[in-house]
């Protein structure tokens, strides 16, 4: 007897306070607010997104902290600027003081001004890494203006540095099914969409369940990261739209399976940063080097959300449609068995040839 997939919603538990705190900090940071970071419950630093570093904001930060602002950035961005190498997170101070133009020149590769010449690196404590992680979670440039402080901050929202660093794992493990409906698709009329939401009410991921997959056998599965430009607009810069529609058709033709539509735009850097990367690519950088210029890793995606979604659907073994070995190892790392890698290849066009070539030669994709 075969077992069909589990697609009914289950009650959602109350969100852990740490998840809610991070979600609130993300919202405040995106609005240009100051955030107080704590370690073991004690305020250790104040954080402002580099993108919000106006002169007034820098003054407010310095006055609240009682210390001069510094810039926390990824080691990758610091390497590009020739300021440091071999470190995950770098703190940069300016002996003459930071201005908003200094901050933007350090954080944004599209800002053509050179950084201030009197920059000096400082040891980066754990809270500096957490400040950069917060900017990444907020889908902003991965750089923050920070100032160490031990002053109480009664007027600012506080969040634990350790909670920021653990957020992606904690949010992924808190995913719950919250809705599902039958949605006939052009290439798969027998399809249902199942929505998953983390306990803090954050960004939802979706599963497209096609046909009636048998959980007793490896399920044909595709992990697809959302791509607004390719999936919706038909962009020719990538092959995402072809892969999405092709996977739906292929799964339907095979009799059933699952496509996970993951909220990880631009390999996890967000739509705005992806557009920044596109602008850098138009100046000659390839996909990976554009991410490096921005200060991101080659691929910022995590596959724990996909693994949790599969478990909630009752799937433990998959035949994975992918050209990317990292997806195979990513699922295996989270105890989903990949019994077979199913190639998923589409022809290039005059606009995405370099993109696909970079995937093959530098990211290890198998075409």
Active-site residues, by number, are 299, 301
DSSP result, 298-332: S----SHHHHHHHHHTT--EEEEE-S-HHHHHHHH
CA distance 100 to 102: 5
- Give every strand in the sheet of 337-342, ordered side by side: 176-182, 191-197, 205-211, 256-262, 219-225, 317-321, 337-342
Residue 344: burial class (beta carbons within 10 Å; 0-12, 13-18, 19+)? buried
Q: Which residues, including other chains, have CB under 8 Å from residue 283's CB and lie 6 or more apart?
A: none
- How many angstroms from the chain centroid is the CA of residue 200? 17
% helix / strand / coil in the chain, to the nearest 5? 35, 25, 40
DSSP result, 120-174: EEE---HHHHHHHHHHHHTTS-SEEEEEE--S--TTSEEEEHHHHHTHHHHHHHT
Beta carbons of 298 and 291 less than 8 angstroms apart: yes
CA distance 65 to 43: 10
């Amino acid at each position: 007897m075969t077992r069909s997939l589990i697609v009914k919603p289950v009650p959602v538990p109350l969100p852990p306070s740490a998840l809610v705190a991070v979600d609130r900090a993300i919202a405040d940071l995106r609005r240009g607010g100051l955030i107080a970071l704590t370690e073991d419950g004690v305020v250790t630093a104040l954080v402002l997104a580099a993108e919000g570093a106006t002169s007034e904001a820098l003054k407010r930060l310095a006055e609240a902290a009682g210390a001069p602002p510094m810039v926390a950035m990824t080691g990758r961005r610091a390497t590009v600027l020739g300021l440091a190498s071999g470190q995950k997170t770098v703190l940069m101070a300016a002996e003459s003081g930071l201005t908003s133009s200094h901050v933007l020149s350090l954080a944004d590769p599209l800002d053509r001004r050179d950084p201030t010449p009197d920059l000096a690196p400082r040891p980066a404590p754990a809270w500096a890494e957490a400040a950069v992680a917060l900017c990444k979670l907020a889908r902003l440039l991965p750089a923050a203006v920070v100032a160490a402080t031990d002053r109480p901050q009664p007027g600012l929202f506080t969040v634990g540095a350790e909670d920021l660093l653990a957020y992606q794992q904690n949010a992924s493990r808190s995913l719950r099914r919250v809705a599902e409906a039958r949605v006939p698709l052009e290439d798969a009329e027998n399809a249902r969409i199942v929505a998953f939401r983390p306990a803090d009410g954050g960004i939802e991921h979706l599963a497209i369940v096609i046909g009636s997959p048998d959980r007793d056998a490896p399920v044909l599965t595709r992990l697809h990261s959302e791509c607004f430009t390719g999936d919706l607009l038909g962009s020719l810069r990538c092959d995402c739209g072809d892969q999405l529609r092709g996977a739906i058709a292929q799964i339907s033709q095979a009799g059933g399976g699952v496509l996970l539509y993951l909220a990880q735009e631009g390999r996890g850097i967000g739509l705005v940063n992806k557009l920044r990367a596109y602008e850098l690519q138009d100046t000659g950088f390839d996909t990976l080097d554009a991410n490096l210029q921005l200060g991101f890793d080659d691929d910022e995606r995590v596959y724990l959300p996909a693994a949790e979604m599969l478990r909630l659907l009752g799937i433990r073994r998959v035949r994975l449609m992918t050209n990317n070995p990292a997806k195979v190892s990513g699922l295996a790392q989270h105890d989903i068995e990949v019994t077979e890698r199913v190639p998923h290849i589409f022809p290039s066009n005059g606009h995405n040839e370099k993109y696909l070539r970079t995937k093959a030669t530098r990211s290890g994709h198998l075409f």
